[in-house]
Chain A
Amino acid sequence: MRSKGRSPRAGSWLGFFLGVVGIIVALVLRPTREFEAIKLRRQRAVATETPSHDAAEHAARSNRRSEVGDAQPAPALTFSAVSMVFPDGTHALRETTFSVRPGEFVTVVGPSGCGKSTLLRIASGLNPATGGSVTVDSSRLGYVFQDATLLPWRTVLRNVELMAELEGIPRDERLGRALDAIDLVGLTGAEFKYPKQLSGGMKMRASLARSLVLNPKVFLFDEPFGAVDEITRERLNDEVIKLFQLEGFAGLFITHSISEAVFLSTRVLVMSARPGHIVADISVPFPYPRDPELRFDPAFAELCGQISHELRGVHA
């Protein structure tokens, strides 16, 4: 019973076997993107020894910065009389009006549940507002969530690439941009790690890099450092300021920490309890770059006190 029709059957079994072997080989060779990244890093290392190559890129970067430095640029993000009523009847926002210009870093503080996060979700278009209008260029919008929301099956590099990938930026270009962003947030050397191997602070850095890849004009931060420890948080604040100066985006930062708000921003908006609206608009006079020691400055403390006062007025 074995001799009958043996050869064709053997052929199909061979095909099956080769298929299985092929799948296993593909699994073993999976990290091809990693090889590409290492190659690009090497090429760049060679290129920096002969500086002509990077000159164009540098020029482009400084161009962008000077563009930003213009006297009174048009707002990058504008809220006009925006209201939000959820289907269940919750009145989250009432007649909120403000704008963020390029080169401004605006922080929103307010009691919990006052609709701060809703504000960002409306700004990004994740939730449409029920009243008023929002103007923003959504193609170059960075958004950092409360959680890092990294995809656990992707390495740091592939996670950082994700936004650019979804935006349809070509493979080679987005690899370069992703490596730049990784260097910028200080994750160099962790490119090929998986999220489960990272500390909370490193995850947030990766999350920052993921948005930086798009060269955002508007950068939204939704209490991004609420879950990390105080020391890491201060370090990440320094990092955000560095990025803000370097990239010149318009920042909108949500937090419930007054000192974080004052340390980071050019303006602090104080929101009332639900339905939220802006009750105070306080500008922060300290120049950039901001020294971590600023946190112990009497003027800093005084400003924090003033905002705290406004907030308490809100509660009463």
Chain B
Amino acid sequence: MTLDVGVSEELAHAPTAPTDDADAPRDGKKKFPVSQVIGPLVLLALFIGLWYLMHSWGLRYFFDKDGHRLIPTPTRVWHDTVIRPIARERYIEGIKWTGIVAYGGLLITIVVGISLAIVMSQAKWAESAIYPYLVALQAIPVLAVVPIIYSIFGGGLAPRFFVVIMIAFFPIVTNTLFGLNSADAGQHDLFTLRGASRWTRLVKLQLPAAMPNIFTGFRISAGLSVIGAVVGEQFFRTGSKPGVGIIMDLYRTKGNYPPLWGGIIIASGIGIITFFVFGIISKLVVGHWHEAQRGTS
């Protein structure tokens, strides 16, 4: 009976530790509007101020270039990109194609990349055999290869997917592999004790343990895939499916700068949204057990 009293005593004490833990994130949420919204807004205002400065005076003074032509005012950019129907229609179509290329390519990368990482995690020799070539793949100057890819595939969607996959592949594989190897020896011992199969170990231990790292890989690769799609498009301007990059190239050759700036903002906007969406998904999937890092969302 005395033992039971001891137990309930500890249970009575125990909740104090968890509530301490629970308080910390709640505090963070209270601070959220102040530090996490005001800060970026101030920087945005500074940035727009700098933009106007370069537009009206800076570019002329420092570089002796026509600031009014090269760096149009934000309102002009807004007008020429969003208000003017021709540019707007073009960019809406462009966002669609760039989105399909970036996310389609990312999806293929995720499936192939995770599979490859799983293969590499299963045997040390497989890892040491494949890893050097992954590094080599990462080191290839993708843009230099693009013309060759273009010659092989022609101007359709396939070569654009290829560029995205090449550029987004490495972070997914390395992060997944790191995650799969991150389960500690004690946890592996547990599974060894009960004679768990490779498959059980993979599904119940390695993959769940890897989830936070897999999502880190997703976030890095998602940003890269948008860049890959836009940059890749610049080489495929003859294609019939114009993405944001193709439209930007069109305006560049015409020397029409306001919608070109608009295109840059749209492309980075896609990247930013993707980054945050993956941050939110990551929080939903692993946030309840994994210590959240700074800047995830």
* Least Cβ–Cβ distance between A122 and chain B, in angstroms: 13
A-B contact count (CB 8 A): 93
Interface residues of chain B, those whose CB is within 8 Å of chain A, are 2-4, 6-11, 13-14, 17-18, 21-22, 89, 93, 184, 186-187, 189-196, 200, 204-205, 208-209, 211, 284-286, 288-291
Q: Beyond A145-B186, A166-B196, is A194–B288 a contact (Cβ under 8 Å)? A: yes
Q: Among the listed stretches A62-70, A71-79, A108-116, A149-157, which one makes contact with chain B, having 4 or more residues with CB under 8 Å of it?
A: A149-157
From 197 to 212 in chain A, residues with beta carbon under 8 angstroms from any chain B beta carbon are 197-199, 201-202
- Interface: A249 (CB within 8 A): no
Let me know if B285 and A149 touch, CB within 8 A: no
Q: Among the listed stretches A40-48, A95-103, A234-242, A274-282, which one makes contact with chain B, having 4 or more residues with CB under 8 Å of it?
A: A234-242
Q: Among the listed stretches A84-92, A171-179, A185-193, A262-270, which one makes contact with chain B, having 4 or more residues with CB under 8 Å of it?
A: A185-193
Q: Within the complex, which residue of A27, A153, A186, A195 is in contact with B8, where a contact is CB–CB below 8 Å?
A: A186
A27→B195 CA distance, assembly (Å): 30
Q: Which residue of chain A has its CB nearest to the CB of B189?
A: A126
Q: Beyond A27-B284, A141-B193, A149-B190, is A198–B18 a contact (Cβ under 8 Å)? A: yes
Let me know if B10 and A1 touch, CB within 8 A: no
- Interface: A196 (CB within 8 A): yes
Q: Within the complex, which residue of B6, B189, B288, B290 is in contact with A235, where a contact is CB–CB below 8 Å?
A: B6
Let me know if B11 and A186 touch, CB within 8 A: yes
Q: Within the complex, which residue of A143, A187, A196, A289 is in contact with B291, where a contact is CB–CB below 8 Å?
A: A196
Let me know if A201 and B21 touch, CB within 8 A: no
22 chain-A/chain-B pairs, Cβ below 8 angstroms: A126-B193, A145-B186, A149-B187, A151-B187, A151-B209, A152-B290, A153-B289, A153-B290, A166-B190, A166-B194, A166-B200, A189-B11, A190-B14, A193-B18, A194-B289, A196-B289, A196-B291, A197-B17, A202-B14, A242-B3, A289-B3, A291-B2
**Chain B interface helix/strand/loop/mixed:** helix
Sample of 16 more A-B contacts, CB < 8 Å, known A153-B208, A166-B195, A239-B7 = A124-B193, A143-B193, A145-B189, A151-B205, A152-B290, A153-B289, A153-B290, A162-B204, A166-B191, A166-B194, A166-B196, A186-B10, A187-B11, A196-B289, A198-B14, A239-B6
Q: Beyond A151-B205, A153-B286, A186-B8, is A197–B18 a contact (Cβ under 8 Å)? A: yes
Let me know if A197 and B21 touch, CB within 8 A: yes
From 13 to 64 in chain A, residues with beta carbon under 8 angstroms from any chain B beta carbon are 24, 27
Residues of the A chain whose Cβ atoms lie less than 8 Å from the Cβ of B204: 162, 165-166
A185→B191 CA distance, assembly (Å): 22
Interface residues of chain A, those whose CB is within 8 Å of chain B, are 1, 24, 27, 124-126, 141, 143, 145-147, 149, 151-154, 162-163, 165-167, 186-190, 193-199, 201-202, 232, 235, 238-239, 242, 289, 291-292
Let me know if A199 and B291 touch, CB within 8 A: no
A147→B183 CA distance, assembly (Å): 14
Let me know if A235 and B10 touch, CB within 8 A: yes
Q: Within the complex, which residue of A145, A163, A199, A292 is in contact with B194, where a contact is CB–CB below 8 Å?
A: A163
Residues of the A chain whose Cβ atoms lie less than 8 Å from the Cβ of B9: 235
Let me know if B3 and A238 touch, CB within 8 A: yes
A291→B142 CA distance, assembly (Å): 73
Let me know if A126 and B14 touch, CB within 8 A: no
A147→B214 CA distance, assembly (Å): 26
A187→B4 CA distance, assembly (Å): 12
* Least Cβ–Cβ distance between B246 and chain A, in angstroms: 14
Greatest chain A CB density within 10 A among B22, B93, B186, B211 is at B186
A190→B21 CA distance, assembly (Å): 15
Q: Which residue of chain A has its CB nearest to the CB of B19?
A: A197
Residues of the A chain whose Cβ atoms lie less than 8 Å from the Cβ of B195: 166
A193→B11 CA distance, assembly (Å): 13
A1→B187 CA distance, assembly (Å): 57
Greatest chain B CB density within 10 A among A151, A189, A190 is at A151
* Least Cβ–Cβ distance between A282 and chain B, in angstroms: 26
Residues of the B chain whose Cβ atoms lie less than 8 Å from the Cβ of A163: 190, 194
Residues of the A chain whose Cβ atoms lie less than 8 Å from the Cβ of B284: 24, 27
Residues of the A chain whose Cβ atoms lie less than 8 Å from the Cβ of B200: 166
Q: Beyond A194-B289, A196-B291, A239-B3, is A149–B184 a contact (Cβ under 8 Å)? A: yes
Q: Which residue of chain A has its CB nearest to the CB of B184?
A: A149
* Least Cβ–Cβ distance between A129 and chain B, in angstroms: 16
Greatest chain B CB density within 10 A among A143, A153, A198, A202 is at A153
A188→B211 CA distance, assembly (Å): 29
A124→B191 CA distance, assembly (Å): 12
A225→B260 CA distance, assembly (Å): 66
* Least Cβ–Cβ distance between B291 and chain A, in angstroms: 7
* Least Cβ–Cβ distance between A31 and chain B, in angstroms: 10
Residues of the A chain whose Cβ atoms lie less than 8 Å from the Cβ of B187: 149, 151
* Least Cβ–Cβ distance between B11 and chain A, in angstroms: 6
Nearest 3 Cβ contacts at the A-B interface: A186-B7, A166-B194, A149-B186
A198→B10 CA distance, assembly (Å): 12
* Least Cβ–Cβ distance between A123 and chain B, in angstroms: 11
Q: Which residue of chain B has its CB nearest to the CB of A150?
A: B187
Residues of the B chain whose Cβ atoms lie less than 8 Å from the Cβ of A27: 284-285
